[in-house]
């Protein structure tokens, strides 16, 4: 158990479906992140939230919609996805992205998404 | 943020030390060096980080050169479970939102 829990671990959806990925952290952190990892590609940062406020949107298409109701929970709402959106979606948390000093991220195990 | 350069892959014999190099020749004075690893299809795992001094923890040692332009991650006694992709990242807490940007990493294969 890493302290960052992602559900579901595997998800298969059609292009017209609406689904959500959930991330929960029990580390008392104030920053949460979504990363995408496509096959044989480096991790790509998608969104960052600090104290529930979005501080980074890395030019992500609007078919991905993040939600952060509190510092412990982060969602990624998915709708009308494309097959090329199939990837491992990773959630991470850290003490605070905005604080001085090192920013150590703790990652979840990821949600493997397949879009048919 | 400064970029890093790592070898694409390395092999190491089980029980021997694994020394993973990283070049970050454009690093600035405020940038930390971080190491993470990712075992196949799992989330990345934090290993160690440092600013100027060498660091050691229960997982590894981090050796940073005096000019800070390169570093080496040392796994003192590699096991088969250390087979993973190792990422070296530099990030400035005072710039670019202290963001961690992952590159391609080094694929370490520990062999019996």
Phi, psi of A68 (to 5 degrees): -130, 90
pLDDT at residue A41, rounded to an integer = 87
Closest C-alpha to B91, from A33, A25, A108, A112: A33
Of the candidates B34, B10, B11, the residue with the CA atom closest to the CA atom of residue B103: B34
Distance between A108 CA and the closest CA of chain B, angstroms: 6
Are A86 and A115 a contacting pair, CB within 8 Å?
yes
Whole-number pLDDT of residue A93? 95
Q: Which residue has the tokens 């501080």?
A: A55
Res A40: pLDDT: 81
Share of chain A above pLDDT 90, in %: 75
Per-residue b or e along A68-86, where b marks 16 or more CB atoms closer than 10 Å to that residue's CB: beebbebbbebeebeeebb
- Mean pLDDT for B62-90 is 96
The overall average pLDDT reported for chain B is 92
Instruction: Give residue B2's pLDDT band: very low, low, confident or very high (50, 70, 90).
Output: low
Residue B99 has pLDDT above 80, yes or no: no
Mean predicted confidence (pLDDT) in A87-116: 90
Peptide bond into B25 cis (omega under 30): no
> Which of B45, B98, B102 is opposite residue A103, by nearest beta carbon?
B98
Inter-residue contact B96 to A58 (CB < 8 Å): no
User: B17-66 pLDDT, tens per residue?
Assistant: 999 999 999 998 888 999 999 998 899 999 999 999 999 999 999 999 99
Model confidence at B95, pLDDT cuts 50, 70, 90, reads low
- Under 8 Å between Cβ of B14 and B104: no
Calpha distance A52→A72 (Å, rounded):
9
pLDDT surpasses 60 at B1: no
Determine contact, residues A79/A71, Cβ cutoff 8 Å: no
A101 contacts B43? CB cut-off 8 A: no
Q: What is the DSSP string of B52-89?
A: SS-EE-SS-EEEE-TTSSEEEEEETT--GGG-EEEEEE
pLDDT above 80 for A3: yes
The rounded distance, in Å, linking the Cα atoms of B84 and B44 is 10
Cβ separation of B43 and A97 shorter than 8 Å?
no
Residues A51-93: tens digit of each pLDDT: 888 888 888 999 999 999 999 999 999 999 999 999 999 999 9
Pairing between β-strand B55-56 and β-strand A111-115 as defined by DSSP bridges: unpaired
Q: Which of residues 53-92 of A touch B (CB under 8 A)?
A: 55-56, 88, 90, 92
For B32, the closest of A4, A45, A102 (CB atoms) is A102
């Amino acid at each position: 158990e890493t302290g960052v829990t992602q559900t579901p671990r595997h998800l298969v959806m059609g292009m017209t479906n609406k689904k959500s990925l959930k991330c929960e952290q029990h580390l008392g952190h104030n920053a949460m992140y979504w990363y995408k990892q496509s096959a044989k590609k480096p991790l790509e940062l998608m969104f960052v939230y600090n104290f529930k406020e979005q501080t980074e949107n890395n030019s992500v298409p609007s078919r991905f919609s993040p939600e952060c109701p509190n510092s412990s929970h982060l969602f990624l709402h998915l709708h009308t996805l494309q097959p090329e959106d199939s990837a491992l979606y990773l959630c991470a948390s850290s003490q605070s992205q905005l604080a001085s000093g090192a920013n150590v991220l703790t990652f979840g195990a990821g949600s493997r998404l397949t879009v048919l | 943020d400064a970029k890093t350069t790592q070898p694409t892959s390395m092999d190491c014999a089980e029980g021997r030390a694994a020394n993973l190099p990283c070049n970050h020749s454009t690093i600035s004075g405020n940038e930390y060096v971080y190491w993470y690893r990712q075992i196949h299809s799992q989330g990345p795992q934090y290993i160690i980080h440092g600013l100027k001094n060498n660091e050691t923890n229960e997982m590894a040692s981090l050796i940073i050169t005096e000019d800070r332009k390169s570093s080496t991650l040392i796994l003192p006694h590699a096991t088969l479970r250390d087979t993973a992709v190792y990422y070296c990242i530099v990030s400035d807490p005072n710039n670019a939102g202290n963001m961690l940007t992952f590159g391609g990493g080094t694929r370490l294969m520990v062999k019996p």
